[in-house]
Structure 1
Amino acid sequence: MRRPLDPDMFDPACPSRVTPIRIGDKWVGMVLICLEDGPRRFSELRVPMRGVSPKVLTETLRAMERDGMLVRTVYPEVPPRVEYELTPLGRSLFGPIEACREWAANHLPELIAAREAYERREAVVD
């Protein structure tokens, strides 16, 4: 017999509520990887992240800054130059990111097979 789910498992006071990285937040992971070798400008980040809109990238960078994962530096130049750089807290996420990348590499064939099987089942239902 399965034990019942704890009604307080998603309690608002739970520390997991403030965790800045959520599984599936692809933009944060990509920003972290882009900043691994040092500071970058917004326009530099957009090149490899061509699938993200400027608005979403801006929101992602602001959220990461708020969470202490990166710093935004504005240089007093004309036009102003802005760079984003990881903090030690942001850099501490490379271990978990590497674990996720390794998991994906090890399980990609299974994942693709499961998706294809699902799509075949859905095609029959429709």
Structure 2
Amino acid sequence: MRALAGQFLRFGVVGTIAFVIDAGVLWLAMGAGVDPYLARVISFVPAFAANFLLNRAWTFAQKREQRPHGQAARYLAVQLAGMAMNYAVFAAIVTFAGEGRVVALAAVVAGSIAAMGFNFLGARHLVFRPLA
């Protein structure tokens, strides 16, 4: 149980780093006049990359495959499902609360929290599963 708690804590640290990247890109894109819904899609890409690389190197390092392509593909599938949940929460908040950058940042927080458990379980059991 202690190992699981440590792994979840590392996952949270990595998620926080990815969140900062996600929110920063969103903030910059919206500041440049990009629609918040499109800006959110754009901000997913660098956040996903950082999230995968850091989780692979640190959170789930003992379960790393030699060739990362399979893990990256599985991670993308899990993250896209998680992103769908995240984006649904984000879009609902922005739709009902307004399209300002502060509202959008709050919506990113809410969406990230909503998808965190799903993303952790998917990463742990589908992506970085024990090596055979």
Scaled by the length of structure 1, the TM-score of the pair is 0.33
Q: Which has the higher contact order (CA 8 A, sep 6+)?
A: 2
Kindly indicate which of the two structures has a greater share of residues assigned to helix: 2
Bigger Rg, structure 1 or 2: 1
TM-score normalised according to structure 2 size: 0.32
Q: Which has the higher strand share?
A: 1
